[in-house]
Structure 1
Amino acid sequence: MAIKDTYAEIEKTLGLVPEWLKQMPEGAAEGFWVTARDFWLAETEIPNKYKELIGLAVSGATRCKYCCLFHTEAARLFGATEAEIAEASMMSGVTMMGSTFINAQQVDYDKFAAETQDIINYVRSHRQVAAEQAGTEAHHH
């Protein structure tokens, strides 16, 4: 696709071609747009609201004010509430906090992986017990 065709498609989709995108080399701009069009902006397995909340969390972790602004507004556009936006931002912070500590401590990865699986198995088994108890109680009422 010629760059003018790419720009025309972007303008039809977004209402304008952002200046920062015009600054990209042609091959990169075309590739970026194809990925944006066919994955990021498209209806995929992950609803757009959640993709934007993920984008916001990543933006917070990478400290990109441009992406934070864009993904916050796009999340709102796709129906995210202020509470959901705050939770996505907090997930970014809590993940970075844990990641920074674990990496700085040079925690053994195999031990971490084994403990993670133990945690998942424990929580899964307790959820099943709780669901079974709730089902039993519902039959007695």
Structure 2
Amino acid sequence: MEAPTMTTPDTQEEIEQTLGQVPSWMEHIAAPADDHSWGLFRDLSLGETELSPREKALIGVGVAAAISCPYCTHFHREEARLADVSEAELEEAVSLASTTRYFSATLHGNEMDMDEFTAETAEIVDHLKEQEAAAAGDD
């Protein structure tokens, strides 16, 4: 027995034309958000935006890894492969995500002062800019 779809017939047709099918998981989106959810996915993930498909896929892989979602990890890894992302790049994206999650836990768990953190970050950015300018002057 097929589960009833929650999206409107027009949205179902658009999803099927775009993806070749209406994925079963989309049938579990609550009615008030069903068509809107497809629009978000379509426009941000598949649409032409400021980010390239490669960048979107790498972000997706990193976020999926950081939130430990096997569904999102699988989807975004496949998306990344479609965008010609190498296995080494996938591994790096996951490593970057894990580093961010690690330091986030450290900062939150130790209740670091946000104002101090912001000021230190500004100093670090200034220092890095100075190093870049000096390196460019060496060329």
Normalising by structure 2, we get a TM-score of 0.92
**Which runs of structure 1 show a deviation greater than 2 angstroms over 4 or more consecutive aligned residues?**
none
- Counterpart for residue 117 of structure 2: 112
Q: What is the percentage of aligned positions where both structures have the same residue?
A: 38
Measure the CA separation in 1 of the matches of 2:111 and 2:128.
26
Measure the CA separation in 1 of the matches of 2:50 and 2:127.
28
The equivalences for 1:1-141 within 5 A come to 3-134=8-139
Cα deviations across residues 83-107 of structure 1 (Å, max 9, x unaligned)?
1111110011000110101110111
How many pairs align?
133
Report the residue type matching 1:82 in the other structure.
E
Measure the CA separation in 2 of the matches of 1:13 and 1:96.
34
The gaps in structure 1 that reach 5 residues or longer are 135-141
* Helix, strand or coil at the partner of 2:85: coil
What is the aligned-residue RMSD (CA, Å)?
1.0
Measure the CA separation in 2 of the matches of 1:98 and 1:23.
34
Measure the CA separation in 2 of the matches of 1:126 and 1:113.
20
Does the Cα contact within 8 Å between 1:59 and 1:67 map onto a contact in 2? yes
* Structure of greater Rg: 1
Displacement of 1:8: 0.6
The gaps in structure 2 that reach 5 residues or longer are 1-6
Normalising by structure 1, we get a TM-score of 0.91
Displacement of 1:26: 3.0
Q: Which has the higher helix share?
A: 1
